[in-house]
Structures are given as C-alpha cells and as structure tokens.
Amino acid sequence: MLESAELYFNVDHGYLEGLVRGCKASLLTQQDYVNLVQCETLEDLKIHLQTTDYGNFLANETNPLTVSKIDTEMRKKLCREFEYFRNHSLDPLSTFFTYMTCSYMIDNVILLMNGALQKKSVKEILVKCHPLGRFTEMEAVNIAETPSDLFSAVLVETPLAPFFQDCMSENTLDELNIEILRNKLYKSYLEAFYKFCKNHGDVTAEIMCPILEFEADRRAFTITLNSFGTELSKGDRETLYPTCGKLYPEGLRLLAQAEDFEQMKMVADHYGVYKPLFEAVGDGSGGKSLEDVFYEHEVKMNVLAFSRQFHYGVFYAYTKLKEQEMRNIVWIAECISQRHRTKINSYIPIL
C-alpha cells in the first residue's frame, strides 16, 4: 500500500485531528490529580474541576451534588465532543466512529435486556445507558424473546446487525444466554473492527491493530476468569473468545482448558506482553487487581497512539483516555463522598 496518508489525510481529517489533539492536551495532569485527592468534599472537587478544562460543567446542577450527577455530566460532555467529531467526519473516519459506538450499543442492548428480565422499568435502565451507545430502537429491545427475534425485529437496521450472524438462536433469553449473547456480539464486533482497521492500512492499522489485539486478549482473559465455577462448558467458552488477538490460536486453546487463575497465568507466561502484567497483579490483600493492570496497559497504549500522526487511532485513544479519566474522577469522588480515603490514590494515572 502506498504511504499516501500523509499527503491526503489533512484534506479530510486534518481539522478533526487537530481538534482531538487539542482535547487531549486538556486531560487532567498529575498535578490536577494531586489537588483532587486533597479535596474534602464534592463541592471542593467541583471548584477544582472548574479550573481545569471541564469548566463549569456542573454549574447548572442543583444541590446537593452527588457522584452520579458528576458522572452523568462528564459523560454528557464527552458525548458532546464525540458528536461534534462525528458530525464533522468524512467517510472512512465516520465508519470508524460508528465502529467505536458499537461497543457502547452492545452494552446498552444487554443492559436493557437484563433490565427487562428483572422486570425493571425501561426508564430506570435508560438512565444507566451510556449516551454514546444510544439509538432510536434501543428501547424496543424488551419486546424480543429470542436472539433471532431481537435481530429481525429491532436491530436489523442498526450497525449492530452484521454482528448477529453467529448468535441467531431460538433459545429464550435468560441471564446466561444474555451473557453469552453479549460475548458473541462483542467477539464479532471486535473481529469486524479489527478487519476494518487492517484493511484500512497505513498508520491507522499500525496503531489500531495492537490496541484491538490487546482488547481481544483482555476479553479472553476476562471471560476465562469469569467462567470459573459457572456452568459454561469449556467448548462453549472457546467459542466466545475473540480471534483477533495475539493469543489466537494456541493461546486461546490453552486458555479454554484453564481451570483456575494459576493455569491462566501459565498461559500468559508464554507471551512477552502479558507476562509482566500478570506478574504485577498483587494477591488478595494489597496490590493491584488484574483489571487495574489491564487498564494501565491500555492507557499506555492509548497515550502512545498520540505519538504518530495521520491516523484514526487518536480518536479511539482520546475517547478511551477520557473514559479512564472519568473513571478516575468518579473513583476519587466516591472515595471522598464515602469518606473512605485509604484507597483514594489507586486511580489509574494518565501519563
């Protein structure tokens, strides 16, 4: 493939890339985190956030301030930025954005279906849905009884439709089936996204493929970890693993056979990337959880994405970094509001 991205990239996407880099510069710095951690109340937190790029995004919130209000407002802000990017994007990039929203859409669909299963009202669940994954037919999800029903009635027009090819079945949707459906959807989503980036070539492929490979492997590990002690059979488990990661194919086969955390760790030891990650995991009492270690690695990869130019990965990386930042702020806010300050420092620093 010709290295033509440098020549033409800025014509179509230069403005947005400049914008996203500017946005990235507005991420909270280490000093900001140090100040945030010192806050005594949520009001202090709000005042401090006002001095950052968040500005007075909480200005119109009525008292008392709660963590969920902060979270909602931050999400809205991210969503506004994302919508702006998306509305101004041209074709390959807009498809890329659509792929990015798909993961949130999957989460929302699953959330709604779980809600319907537990007989909760749709409105209650809608509040919890991620604004990036909103779509019109979303609320109609609960009319479906089986996955194929869901596909043919509700989701056939959404970008999620192509991911359904593997999960058409007439099983009723109970909790386990929903979870399987989520993982299958996610698997085909990741594979499709990976294929899209690979086909796009250029720097985008060079940046995005490692990130998505990691994402796939992380899912594989998480699925394995969560399936210990459930009725999911090993064969079924293997069908859920996304096949676009570094673990494919041998690692996944080994992982399918794993029966506890130690065996999983042995699988990871075969891979130079994952070995140090598993070694960093602390045991029960102190140290980091596997989740945190993965988050840290993800942050590192996303930050590195900004060191190259002329690719779409920056948009993905920015969104993920912003999400991480939001998780951090929510964590700190939770610690402050629950007066549980011992663990307040275990947020994931964004370098």
Give the residues lining the site for another protein (CB under 8 A).
Answer: 35, 38-39, 43-44, 47-48, 51, 59-60, 122, 136-140, 142-143, 152-154, 156-157
Q: How far is CA 49 from the centre of its chain?
A: 24
Could you tell me which of 298, 303, 300 has the C-alpha nearest to residue 318?
303
Using the minimum distance from each CB to another protein, give the nearer residue, 19 or 122.
Answer: 122
Minimum distance between the CB of residue 140 and another protein, rounded to whole angstroms? 4
One-letter amino acid for residue 34 of the chain: V
User: Is 132 exposed, middle or buried, given 0-12, 13-18 or 19+ CB atoms closer than 10 A?
Assistant: buried
Q: Give the separation between CA 52 and CA 28, rounded to whole angstroms.
A: 7
Q: Give the Cβ contact number of residue 236 at 10 Å.
A: 14
Q: What secondary structure does DSSP assign to 55-94, as a single string?
A: TTTTTTPPSSP-HHHHHHHHHHHHHHHHHHHHHT--HHHH
Using the minimum distance from each CB to another protein, give the nearer residue, 76 or 253.
Answer: 76
Using the minimum distance from each CB to another protein, give the nearer residue, 52 or 263.
Answer: 52
Say how many Å lie between the first and final Cα of the chain, rounded. Answer: 33
Alpha-carbon Rg for the chain, nearest whole angstrom, is 21
Minimum distance between the CB of residue 152 and another protein, rounded to whole angstroms? 6
216 within 8 A of 194, measured Cβ to Cβ: yes
Q: Give the separation between CA 208 and CA 302, rounded to whole angstroms.
A: 9
Q: Give the separation between CA 284 and CA 265, rounded to whole angstroms.
A: 15
Using the minimum distance from each CB to another protein, give the nearer residue, 144 or 317.
Answer: 144
Using the minimum distance from each CB to another protein, give the nearer residue, 158 or 319.
Answer: 158
Which residue bears the tokens 């401090």?
Answer: 48
Minimum distance between the CB of residue 47 and another protein, rounded to whole angstroms? 5
Tokens representing 333 are 């806010």
89 within 8 A of 83, measured Cβ to Cβ: no
H/E element, 208: helix 202-227
Minimum distance between the CB of residue 150 and another protein, rounded to whole angstroms? 11
Minimum distance between the CB of residue 137 and another protein, rounded to whole angstroms? 6
Minimum distance between the CB of residue 125 and another protein, rounded to whole angstroms? 12
